Amino acid sequence: MAMSQQSIHGQWSSRWTFILAATGAAVGLGNIWKFPYLTGVHGGSAFVLVYIVCVAALGIPLMMAEILIGRRGRYTPVNTMKILAEESGAGPWWQSVGWLGTLAGMLILSYYSVIGGWTLAYVFKSATGAFRGVTGASAHTMFEAFVGNPWAILFWHTVFMIMTMMVVAKGVQGGIEKAVQFLMPALFVLLLLLLGYATTTGFFFDGLAFLFTPDVSRLSGTSMLTAMGQAFFSLSIGMGTIMIYGSYVPKGTSIAGTSIAIAGCDTAVALIAGMAIFPIVFANGMEPGAGPSLIFETLPVAFGHMTGGLIFGFLFFVLLLIAAWTSSISLIEPAVTLCIERYDMTRASASLWCGISTWALGIGTVVSFNVWADRTVFGMTFFDLLDFLTSNLMLPVGGILIASFAGWVMAPETSRSELDIRHPLGYTLWHLLIRYVAPFAVTLVLLHALGLL
Ligand code: PHE
């Protein structure tokens, strides 16, 4: 396999559509419920500051590394890593970075699609007025009854998976690009509408205070590491998604400028989501809970009691659905392109097979909320186990390996010419961060996640 000018899978029609697609991959469930909540718990603005430093010092350099590797290789992450390792005179085992990422994408999608299915169900629930007058207790019962029914969540998981695979099957320009060109602007408009709505609740500044009041005392070592882990997950780095999207980037696109734009959008969406959600929660005298309960229990109650709440509740779940959908598309792309390159499949049949196998794996997550709720390994259900394995192990290992490859294995002349940064110090700074800072800092996250630190 030789180095090629354009990927056999297609190319983005412009730098702008690449930014939309990569931002779509990055902005997901992680931004809309996890980031706002973590910020509140870990000391408000102090956490935001650490998060931004992590995005800038680790996230952006790693994203640049992934895009540059992807664009230079132009194949699925497995083959790209193989070709670039060969080019650098390193061993073929570097292709395992591609395998690890591709597998992580399928594993993440298997549970992400189940949660995406919940979001879809809640779009319908909110559209039919199911939240009218709900109380905390009835919202809890509604949610428990919903996830307690394996057939219901299997149904929505299936629909969500079909939606994802329909876009992927149509290819880079015909599918992914068309979808994000419509969905991402819609996502931004919805987010701004919700933000506007939050300002009318009378609790806008309480929300801001919750998110941004500096409280350094609440900032522990753990929260610094949490900020770093969240930055990785949120930017979708360490697993080949950005690498495959990078392989469709036209030559001559500034990698540094584009990475800064994507990371900036991702961070802005997370911050705005917090500014929109908390005033609505506080206006109803509710507590900001963690994870699924905030989105699927607290918010329906809040929306159910507010003027215009039914419409805005519906819009909120549409927003969440779009965020989950554009991330899901990116999660399966490495696996689909691998099947095309390795097994000579058409995109349609590769999408079908990857979709079916990921869907089947998702059944494990479906039952872990009901029939298998009591079956645990190390105290974790199947769903918890997958989440732990992917976010806490596979992404950090992927990040360390990608940073080491770009910083140590790739010849500096190669990365310098690919990045083509105009500012004289720009390249030096990137190289220092990717060589020394990123591998070390991510190793810290990993050790922490394993409880070894
Ligand atoms: N970044 C997505 C989110 O914030 C999750 C994701 C991780 C998507 C890794 C693709 C790859 O929800």
Our answer on whether the CB atom of 241 is closer than 6 Å to any ligand 1 atom is yes
Whole-number pLDDT of residue 289:
56
**Band (361; pLDDT cuts 50, 70, 90):** very high
- Answer yes or no: is pLDDT of 145 > 70: yes
Q: Whose CA is closest to 384, among 397, 370, 398, 368? A: 368
CA distance 32 to 308: 21
- Answer yes or no: is pLDDT of 290 > 70: no
Our answer on whether the CB atom of 31 is closer than 6 Å to any ligand 1 atom is yes
Our answer on whether the CB atom of 29 is closer than 6 Å to any ligand 1 atom is yes
Report the atom number in ligand 1 closest to the C-alpha of 27. Answer: 4
Q: Report DSSP letters for 162-189, one per residue.
A: HHHHHHHHT-IIIIIIHHHHHHHHHHHH
Our answer on whether the CB atom of 415 is closer than 6 Å to any ligand 1 atom is no
**Band (358; pLDDT cuts 50, 70, 90):** very high
- Answer yes or no: is pLDDT of 105 > 60: yes
Between 211 and 175, name the one with better pLDDT. 175
Structure tokens at 89: 């005179």
Report the atom number in ligand 1 closest to the C-alpha of 327. Answer: 8
CA distance 414 to 343: 30
Angle between helices 221-235 and 395-404 (to 10 degrees): 80
**Band (4; pLDDT cuts 50, 70, 90):** low
**How far is ligand 1, taken at its centre, from the CA of residue 284, in Å?**
30
Sign of CA dihedral 418, 78, 29, 164: positive
**How far is ligand 1, taken at its centre, from the CA of residue 133, in Å?**
34
Our answer on whether the CB atom of 239 is closer than 6 Å to any ligand 1 atom is yes
Least confident of 230-244, 251-265, 273-287: 273-287
CA distance 159 to 117: 7
* Average pLDDT rounded to a whole number, residues 274-302: 77
**How far is ligand 1, taken at its centre, from the CA of residue 257, in Å?**
21
**How far is ligand 1, taken at its centre, from the CA of residue 24, in Å?**
9
Whole-number pLDDT of residue 184:
87
Q: Report DSSP letters for 103-149, one per residue.
A: HHHHHHHHHHHHHHHHHHHHHHHHHTTTTTT--HHHHHHHHHHHHT-
**Band (299; pLDDT cuts 50, 70, 90):** confident
Whole-number pLDDT of residue 136:
75
Q: Report DSSP letters for 335-371, one per residue.
A: HHHHHHHHH---HHHHHHHHHHHHHHHHHHHHHHTTT
Q: Output the residue whose Cα is nearest ligand 1's atom 7.
A: 236
Our answer on whether the CB atom of 340 is closer than 6 Å to any ligand 1 atom is no
Whole-number pLDDT of residue 396:
85
Q: Which amino acid is at 195?
A: L
pTM (2 decimals)?
0.92
Q: Output the residue whose Cα is nearest ligand 1's atom 6.
A: 236
* Average pLDDT rounded to a whole number, residues 219-224: 74
Instruction: Convert the pLDDT of each residue in 10-28 to its tens digit.
Output: 999 988 999 999 999 999 9
Are 394 and 104 in contact by the 8 Å Cβ rule? The answer is yes
Report the atom number in ligand 1 closest to the C-alpha of 330. Answer: 10
Are 351 and 336 in contact by the 8 Å Cβ rule? The answer is yes
Whole-number pLDDT of residue 77:
96
Q: What are phi and psi for residue 76, nearest 5 degrees?
A: -60, 150
CA distance 47 to 314: 30
Whole-number pLDDT of residue 122:
94
Arithmetic mean of pLDDT over the chain: 89
* Average pLDDT rounded to a whole number, residues 428-439: 95
- Answer yes or no: is pLDDT of 2 > 60: no
Burial 394-432 (b: 16+ CB within 10 A, else e): bbbbbbbbbbbbbbebbeeeebeebbebeeeeebeebbe
Mutate which of 103, 114, 168, 234 for ligand 1? The one with the most ligand atoms within 8 Å of its CB, which is: 234
**How far is ligand 1, taken at its centre, from the CA of residue 436, in Å?**
25
Distances (CA, A) of 89 to 1, 3, 82, 85, 380: 15, 15, 10, 6, 42
- Answer yes or no: is pLDDT of 112 > 60: yes
- Answer yes or no: is pLDDT of 124 > 90: yes
**How far is ligand 1, taken at its centre, from the CA of residue 1, in Å?**
30
Instruction: Convert the pLDDT of each residue in 191-212 to its tens digit.
Output: 898 899 889 888 899 888 888 8
- Answer yes or no: is pLDDT of 132 > 90: no
Greatest mean pLDDT among 53-62, 136-145, 228-237, 383-392 lies in 53-62
**Band (140; pLDDT cuts 50, 70, 90):** confident
- Answer yes or no: is pLDDT of 159 > 80: yes
Report the atom number in ligand 1 closest to the C-alpha of 238. Answer: 9
Instruction: Convert the pLDDT of each residue in 31-55 to its tens digit.
Output: 987 888 778 777 677 888 889 989 9
- Answer yes or no: is pLDDT of 90 > 70: yes
Cβ neighbours, 10 Å, residue 61: 25
Our answer on whether the CB atom of 116 is closer than 6 Å to any ligand 1 atom is no
* Average pLDDT rounded to a whole number, residues 427-452: 87
**How far is ligand 1, taken at its centre, from the CA of residue 34, in Å?**
11
Catalogue all structural domains in the chain, each as residue range(s) with its CATH number: 15-449 (1.20.1740)
- Answer yes or no: is pLDDT of 3 > 90: no
CA distance 1 to 424: 34
Our answer on whether the CB atom of 28 is closer than 6 Å to any ligand 1 atom is yes
